[in-house]
Each structure stands twice: as structure tokens, then as C-alpha cells.
Amino acid sequence: LAMILPQVVPALCEATVSARSEIQKEVRKVLDRIGATIGHRDIAALAPELIAALSDPTEGPVAKALDSLLSAVYTTAIDGAACALVCPVVERALTRGDADAQKKGANFARGLVLHAGDSEELAPYLAALKAPLQALLAHPNPAVRESAAQAIGSFAAAPAKNDGADASADLLAKLAQPQDGAELEGSAQGIAATLASVAEERRQELLAELLREDVASSGRLARLCVLAHLPRAAGGSAGGPVAAAVVTALPTLGRALADAD
């Protein structure tokens, strides 16, 4: 069941808002049955709100469900059935909500990696949320960009079975492309949050790519923007591996400041 839910539930959600009323009722029954299989007691209690958010295209039910998800206590792992109802709500908030809903959706997505159980069950849901989170890195609202970046960093630190959730390669490629101010800041924030979250081996790989000398001056400026966001991404910590990464980058910073371009 856990393997097919990521494909089945989105199709059911579309049917609840586009099909005939008779079909909508049957779809709602199926969603109710999925909700009844949720093992996490806090999310099980929220199943009616989650299903209402998936059944109603307006923003109100989604906002209510998000607030409930963010205030719930997660004392046990979130299982696949829970993810099947939770993640489509989060995805709807990220793609269709206002700035407040998008920020809340990103904040919940950030913690999802910590609360989920079986990493194999989680993988398709992280993959589905990655694209809308990356899109929010170009949002004009700085708070939305920051929340999306923190979620991107959390996804990159997910277990090995969730390799597809790491957006750092895409973001590094974007640094070499022309971007407006918000897009550049968002891409830089996403990579900085990733550097602050991943294991040391992956951090060193990213730093090596980030500090390459054979890039155009515009690309160097974008990469310097990443380094500028590192301290904040690390939570202002004065020590630790992220501080060591900043020290590693100091020679590159010095050369960049002396660059005539």
C-alpha cells in the first residue's frame, strides 16, 4: 500500500474537485479509509482536516490544516499513510497558497525529514515537494525564500535512499546562469542551507565545486553570495564545521575582492 499511495492519492485529490458529485463521494470514502490507516495518533486525529484541505480548492481549509500540522506533537515517526495525506496538503500550500501558507508549508517540509520513519516510504514525497520548494527560492518575499531554503537544506540531509531530494546540483548550475536579485539570493540561500545541513563528506564536495576558480566573474559573484549566507544558515554558530567551511573559503574571498571585474 505504501508504494502506491504516492501515485493514487494525488489522482484522488484531483477527482474530489473535478468529478461528478457521485464520484466525489466515493473518492471521499477512499480518502477516509486511507486516513483510518494512519498509525501516528496526532496526525490520525487531523485526518478529517487533511482530507477537507484536499477536497476543497479554496485556501481556508489548507491554512487550517497547516496550522494544525505545525502545532501537532510528533512523538512517533510519521508513516507512509500519514505522508500520503500530509504531503499533498503541503504541496498545495507551496504551489497555490499565499505567502503565509507557502512559508508555513516550507517550514513543515523542513521538519518532515526529522519526523518521518521509513526513508524509502518518504522518498517519493520528498521528490514531489522538491520542485515547488525550489520554485519558492525565487519568491519576492524574503521570508518565503528563507523558509524554502531551510527546507531544501533539510531535504539534502535526508537518508541515502532520498538522494533525489538533494537540489544542490540544480542550484549550483543556476548560479552560472543570469538571475534577477531574488532568484540569485534564493539559490545562494538554498546552497548555504545545504552546506549547513549535510554530512562532512558531502559538504567538502560542495565546497570544492563552489570554490572553483575557472568560472566567469558573474558566476564568482553568485558563489560569493552563497558564502555570505553561510553564517545565517548555520544559525549564527561561532564554531563547528560550517565555520571551518568559511575559513576554507577566505582565500577565495580575498582573491574575489581584489578582482578588477
Assess whether pLDDT exceeds 60 at residue 121: yes
Digit-coded pLDDT (tens) for 181-214: 888 899 999 999 998 888 888 888 888 888 776 6
Nearest partner of 5 among 37, 45, 49, 42, judged by Cα? 37
Q: How confident is the model at residue 106 (pLDDT cuts 50, 70, 90)?
A: very high
Instruction: Tell me if 105 sits within 8 A of 95, measured CB to CB.
Output: no
Q: How confident is the model at residue 217 (pLDDT cuts 50, 70, 90)?
A: low
**In Å, how far from its chain's centre is CA 131?**
8
Mean pLDDT of 211-238: 73
| pLDDT tens for each residue of 132-151 | 999 999 999 999 999 999 99
Question: Does the pLDDT value for residue 28 go beyond 90?
Answer: no
Quickly state the pLDDT bin for 230 (edges 50, 70, 90). confident
Q: How many CB atoms lie within 10 A of CB 228?
A: 14
Cell of 173: 548550475
Tens digit of pLDDT for each residue in 60-75?
A: 999 999 999 999 888 7
Helix (H) or strand (E) holding 70: helix 59-71
Q: What is the pLDDT of residue 114?
A: 78
pTM here is 0.84
The percent of residues in the chain predicted with pLDDT above 70, rounded, is 81
* CA end-to-end distance (rounded Å), the chain: 57
User: Rg of the chain over CA atoms, in angstroms?
Assistant: 20
